[in-house]
């Protein structure tokens, strides 16, 4: 059982990294394997918006580090995503990384489906920090064909002081790390999580996309169809 911590701040010992590492340490103490990915160290190019992942299942960009990171995520049981708030949004490094999962992920939930996720954000002020923490885990929460499980999220306004001096926030990060670890170990199902969103998905969104995917299964949605079929998520 393994949890991957993704840090998108360029500050290796900054606020976001400190909280993600605190959460990972708590998970480790609960017996899980952990791995830290400090995104700034990797070469991750922008999504080209070519949509070829929908038909081929592959990204046209092959000369960067994304595929390597993709495989690490694919083989993990849990993911903690940590981003700083830049202009009331996740910073560009995290966005660039998440966008590379492409519409293939949006329509198949191939990487995040069934996984446990937790979001962490830090900010100077309070405004927008929770929104940023939640937005990092949206990729799992709002999955169409197979949802991920949200263990929790944490948004901390630092007010200019380094988070390492903020015992309350470190404690919350530790609790979040422990929670995701226990969720993985206990296979927590969160039956009622995002219940209204899931209801809308079930009656409206998924059937609509299913039709489109089936219609295009030999063409531009070939890889999406084959992936869903292989996982028993769409009829043959
Ligand atoms: C380009 C940039 C934009 C930022 N935008 C905001 C913002 O809109 N609101 C806010 O409260 N803090 C903002 N901040 C402050 C950071 O979110 C905050 O210092 C954060 O904890 C930095 O995380 P780090 O130490 O992990 O790098 C911004 C910082 C930078 C560098």
State pLDDT tens for residues 27-81.
999 999 999 999 999 999 999 999 999 999 999 999 999 999 999 999 999 999 9
Query: What is the bridge-based pairing of β-strands 116-123 and 78-84?
Result: parallel
Number of structural domains (the chain) is 1
Note the pLDDT tens digit of each residue in 128-148.
Answer: 999 999 999 999 988 999 999
Ligand 1: residue of 121, 124, 173 to mutate (most ligand atoms within 8 A of CB) is 124
Q: In this structure, is residue 21 part of a structural domain? A: yes
Domain that holds residue 9: 2-193
Burial class (CB in 10 A: 0-12, 13-18, 19+), 207: exposed
Residue 32, in any domain of the structure: yes
CB 180 within 8 A of CB 150: no
Is 216 a domain residue?
no
Decide if 208 is inside a domain.
no
172 within a domain of the structure (yes/no): yes
CA of 83 to the centre of ligand 1 (A): 9
Q: Write out the two tokens for 59.
A: 């990204």
CATH of the domain at 165: 3.40.50.360
Question: Is there a domain that residue 235 lies in?
Answer: no
Atom of ligand 1 nearest to the CA of 122: 21
Ligand 1 near 162 CB (within 6 A): no
Structural domain includes residue 141 = yes
Kindly report, residue by residue over 6-19, the tens digit of the pLDDT: 999 999 999 999 99
Q: Is ligand 1 within 6 A of the CB of residue 13?
A: no
pTM of the model: 0.97
Residue nearest atom 15 of ligand 1, based on CA coordinates = 124
């Amino acid at each position: 059982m393994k949890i991957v911590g993704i840090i998108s701040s360029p500050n290796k010992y900054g606020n976001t990294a400190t909280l993600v590492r605190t959460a990972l340490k708590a998970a480790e103490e609960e017996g899980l394997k952990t791995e830290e990915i400090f995104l700034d160290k990797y070469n991750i190019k922008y999504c080209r918006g070519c949509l070829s992942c929908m038909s081929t299942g592959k990204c046209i960009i092959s000369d960067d580090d994304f595929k390597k990171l993709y495989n690490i995520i694919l083989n993990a049981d849990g993911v903690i995503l940590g981003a700083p708030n830049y202009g009331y949004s996740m910073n560009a490094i995290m966005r660039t990384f998440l966008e590379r999962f492409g519409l293939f992920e949006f329509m198949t939930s191939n990487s995040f489906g069934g996984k446990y996720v937790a979001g962490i954000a830090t900010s100077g002020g309070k405004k927008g920090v929770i929104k940023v923490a939640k937005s990092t885990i949206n990729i799992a929460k709002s999955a169409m064909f197979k949802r991920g499980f949200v263990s929790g999220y944490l948004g901390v306004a630092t007010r200019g002081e380094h988070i390492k001096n903020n015992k309350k926030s470190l404690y919350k990060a530790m609790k979040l790390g422990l929670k995701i670890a226990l969720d993985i170990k206990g296979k927590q199902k969160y039956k009622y999580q995002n219940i209204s969103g899931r209801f809308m998905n079930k009656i409206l969104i998924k059937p609509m996309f299913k039709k489109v995917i089936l219609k295009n299964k030999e063409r531009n949605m070939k890889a999406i169809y084959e992936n869903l079929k292989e996982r028993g998520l769409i009829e043959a």
